[in-house]
Copies of this chain bind each other. A is one copy, B any other.
Amino acid sequence: MKHRILAFGKPALGYAKEGIALYEKRLKPYAPTKIEYLRDCPEPKRTIRHLEASKGTLRIVLDERGESPTSAQFAKRLEKWQLNAHREITYLIGAADGHTDALRVEADMIWALSPLTLQHELALVVLLEQLYRAHTILRGEPYHR
């Protein structure tokens, strides 16, 4: 199983870059994880790009107006997708003003990491930490702090 994360614009905050690199590295032994930074563009182009880039994969849209599983619940869902032979999951991170309805209806899951509005680079760190956490949960391994 592979994770592919699509975000608009490269992270500018030093701490976020560092956090992203850390969890990317930690995820390596569990599942290859690739982050692709798309060049930002106005709607509806942004939605079209997101849809094209995630075609044929299981599509998770990160959006405040989504469901909010616990870490254990998300891990369970990941396991189910693995068993159902989903080989690639694409995570779509919006720009600051969120996602369009046209994108939301095409999602296999809409995931609100928190009811809080998180700076989107920070959200990227939280997402990666959760993917790493989910894999350690599924392997029954201790979480490396």
User: Scoring A residues 17 to 38 as 1 if CB is less than 8 Å from chain B, else 0, what string do you get?
Assistant: 0110010000000000000000
A115 contacts B13, CB within 8 Å? no
A122 within 8 A of B: yes
User: Scoring A residues 86 to 129 as 1 if CB is less than 8 Å from chain B, else 0, what string do you get?
Assistant: 00000000001000000000000000011111110010011001
A13–B16 Cα distance when bound, in Å, is: 12
Assess A114 versus B117: contact at CB under 8 Å? Given A19-B15, A122-B126, A125-B122.
no
Write the residues of chain A forming the contact surface with B, with a CB cutoff of 8 angstroms.
12-16, 18-19, 22, 68-71, 74, 96, 113-119, 122, 125-126, 129-130, 133, 143, 145
